[in-house]
Structure formats: C-alpha cells, structure tokens
Structure 1
C-alpha cells in the first residue's frame, strides 16, 4: 500500500494557512499537510526535518522569502508559489515552469494545480530543477519598490473571520492610532468598516496613486468614490462621497489636488 503524499504550507498569515489547508482537504483528500510554517526560515527547517513531497510557499514573508526558501529546497520537492500579485505570475511563473496560486486562492485554479501535481507524481516525474528561474525571481524581489505592484486587496481580521476587501471597493482609509480604518462599499449587504494592523503610510505606498490620494495626514480617499468637493475657506476643503454620509477633511497641504474647482 503506497503512502499518502505529504505537503508543507508556509504563509505568515495563520488564517490563510488554515484556509489553504481546508481547500486542499477538498481538492486533494489524500494529501497529508504535515507541517505549517510562519516564514521562510521555518519552512526550510520543517522541510529538512520532514521532507514533504509538495511545498506551498507564500512569496512574501518576513525574513526569508518563499523564493529564498524554494532555492534551499530545490528539486527535492514539487513547489507551488502563493502570491497576492498577478504581477509576479506574469513576469516569472507564467513562463510555464513554476506552479503558482494567486490569493485569494480560487477553487478552480487550485483544482488545476492539484491535477498537474498528481500527474507528475503518478508518472514518478522528478521535481523540476528551477534554480535559474528562482535566482531571477529572487533578484526581482530584492530590487524592492521598483517591482512592487499596486495592492489588489486588503486582509482584515474581524474576530475569527478573515475578510478579504477588494481595493477597488474601498471608499477611504483613515489612520486610527496604530491601526488603519478601512471603509469599503461592495454591495449594500457587505458595506462596512474594519481595522487593520498596517499603518496608513505603509498602505499608501502600495496603493495606485492614480486612484488613491492623500487628502489629510490621516485620510486617504479613493477618487472613484468621490461625489464632490466643497471649499471651506482658503485653507481647507471637504470631500463628499457617493454612497456615504461621512465628510472627509482636506488639509491645506493637499488642497492643491482640488485647485481646478
């Protein structure tokens, strides 16, 4: 009787690790997830100890990235990268060598990935030697901001629920002590607000500057959500939103954005 295939999942977000494990339990019931890791270094340690057949590695993790961990693992396991950014899939993974999943992981995409892995294992094909491509991808990641794409969605934990908020649905973001308050629209039943632990300045750096503008030291607004702007005096203005009653302040520093009024 052949043993069940085994896997390791590495992601710095525990709820996302658990979510992928649950999805794999449906898409690949025979797969045993023998380890979960919080970062690349932990992934390497657990891989060396357990030698799983498949590794699902988040690209961006604190410290050692998923790509660096993959370079250590090499061809000793089948590798699947998990990324929040289509950008990386287009630039590196879509070359047809590396398997990848884009967050939030869609069932259909996961099913297709599992089918490819199962076929390779059924045919006893060795894991691919991807060192050259991994080196190229690692170099891209080390270049930092020049290759960092705009954020596509924001993770917000509400109690035990992880909510994935599409960036396009966000009306505005507002600094709230050490947190950021995210107000989104979606449809009427899903409109709401949530606090995220990322500071506003760190989120702003990842948002598309053509769509999101800072109007106050503590407020960033989605231009698509703006109904109109009213001038108070020569020093201030107020932003009115299409589907919200809140009125957001525009400070003197950012008033030039609305000079054309």
Structure 2
C-alpha cells in the first residue's frame, strides 16, 4: 500500500487535500500530517513514506529545504499558491505540483501519474534549483549526501542566553525546550532559564529538525529529554527528563506520539 504525508501550515488546506486524495486514491494511506517544515522533515525521516505533499511556504523550513534535507526515498509533490504561469517551471523539470486551492482536475492527473510510477523518486537537486529559481526562491544547491543534507537543517551549536545580568553559553544539545516569548524565545536547560533575541520561527530555521520537535505553536522540545507523554481525552502533555515542566501538545501534533 502506498503511503504519504501532508505538510501545510493551513489546517483547512490539509483537510481539503486529504479529502480529495481519499476520493481519487482510496488505497493511499496518509501516515502523518505536519504544520511546519521541521515537523515535515521529521515525519518523512521517521515514516519513510512513498510520497510527501509539501507546501512551498511553511514556517521553519520551506518545502524546498525539506526536499533537499530529507534522506528518505520519498517522491515530493509541491503544493503552491503561485499562479499557473509561474509553476510551468515545475512541469519543465518534471516535478509534481498541486495548485492552491486544490484543483480536483489537476490533482486527479497528478494521482494518475503517481499511481503509474514504477520507482520512488526524489527530486533531482539541479531540477529543484532551476524550478525554484524561476519562482525567486532558490538558494544554493544542497549536497545530496545524507550527512551534508541533514547538516543543512542544523546551523546553531552554541546559544548566548541572557539570564538576569549574565550571558550564559549553552550548547544546543543541552537545551530541554524552547518557548516563544513575543519577539524573544525562552531557552530552558538543566542549569539555565533565560532568553535569546530570536523568535521561535527564526530559531526553527537554524536547529536540527531531527532533534527538536515543535509540539505547539509556542513550544519546541528536544526529543532527548522526552520521558513520557500523558494523554487524557483531547489533552496531551509531555513529561520531561530533568525538568518539572509539563509541555502541552496541540491537537494537530498528537500524531507524533501515537506510537508512544
């Protein structure tokens, strides 16, 4: 059975795509959904789906960065709100795409193409670069090796954290969780609780999506410090190692912990 993940920061767009895929491809199993780029990358690496429907513009990482960073043999279908003349670049480079709002006729053609494909394909980096250059979104072409691809999603090693009148040096691996605090971000480690002058969205562009998981619009947690997850009805909370705080998991992110 073919599997897929959906990634879009607009819940109604994911719902629309999910419903139409269910109509055109009933056998396709949607194994997860993500509301931002880091969550999408994490989901792809964990579930290794045959397909990933990725929004181009997502918080944390763009669809392009997710496609460049992933190591799974997953075929990417970009979901875009760009005008039809702009996405001609994707057709030229044989990259699948679906327009927003989801056009049933276009989706039906993409589904037919995907169902007839004999090999799982990742987008060629040069083709990705050319297509996104036509939309003004291209950056440097990522190295396709697993180590360098994942490294492109993780740039920060040390944080300079303001704690009262001090500035503490905290290694990224020691951070238990980040919490949004208006234009600043709270950094919590075993021996540090302070602020950095980065928004949570800016931070997500510079940390490893395989290590840090956004579980709420205001919270990003280090997977190493997740001890357990408690669920009662629609309430889900993370129990941490070495810290008494309990972190709420928003309903769209409950799927991350179904197997725990």
Question: TM-score if structure 2 supplies the norm length?
Answer: 0.49
The structure richer in helix per residue is 1
Structure with the greater relative contact order (CA < 8 A, sep ≥ 6): 1 or 2?
Answer: 2
